[in-house]
Amino acid sequence: MSPLFWLPPLLLLLTGMPAWSAAPVKFGDALHEKFHHARCIQCHQFNSGKSNGRGFTSHRSRYLCDNCHTRRITGLPRGEWLAPNEKLDYTGLGPAETCQLIKRNLGAGDPKAAMTRHLLEDARIRWALESGMTPAGRFPAVPGGYEAWAREAKAWIDGGMLCE
């Protein structure tokens, strides 16, 4: 039997293995800066009294967004565009604190699945990273756009959602 017989299965095995020397991905490596980008902060501080937030106190106020963020602008049907509640305002928090806050507020169920749904599948996140059109115009784009975001978010989620 030729020694080359083992080469294809060996290469297949090695290419399917994770890089052993790769350092774990931490939230602060790339995502923290993007979470604090104007396109993200604009919505995440909307219902908070911090910074530019409106500080609405009614639980219904977060549903007022689609009065202006219409289907023509966002592509989402009425009732699906809403701002996060005030406990998800991470304005001014450092990488570890932002990471802990978002993980703490994931809700019930599998944390990895919940984070994947929100960061990679939620139409509002996709809109912010791709279009970002608001009734007043566009904010500057998040560096790297959706492709870089998806790659970095997936690496962080798959790596165990490490905060530090």
The residue among 86 and 10 whose pLDDT is bigger is 86
Pick the closest to residue 163 from 98, 119, 81, 83 (CA basis): 98
> Contact at 8 Å (CB) between 27 and 69?
no
What is the domain partition of the chain in residue ranges?
25-158
Question: Taking the model in full, what pTM does it have?
Answer: 0.74
pLDDT tens digits, 4-33: 555 555 444 444 444 444 788 999 998 999
> Contact at 8 Å (CB) between 84 and 101?
no
Question: Is the pLDDT at 116 greater than 70, yes or no?
Answer: yes
pLDDT at 161: 95
18-22, 50-54, 121-125, 145-149 — most confident range? 145-149
- Amino acid identity, residue 28? G
Rounded Cα–Cα distance for residues 2 and 79 (Å): 65
pLDDT at 10: 47
pLDDT at 62: 57
Q: What is the mean pLDDT of the chain?
A: 78
The helix-helix angle for 145-158 and 123-130 (nearest 10°) equals: 130
**At 99, is the secondary structure helix, strand, or coil?**
helix
In which region does residue 23 sit, left (phi positive, over 0), alpha (psi from -120 to 50) or beta (all else)?
beta
pLDDT tens digits, 43-80: 887 777 665 555 555 555 656 677 777 888 777 887 77
> Contact at 8 Å (CB) between 88 and 102?
yes
Question: Is the pLDDT at 105 greater than 80, yes or no?
Answer: yes
Compute φ and ψ for 44, nearest 5 degrees. -70, -20
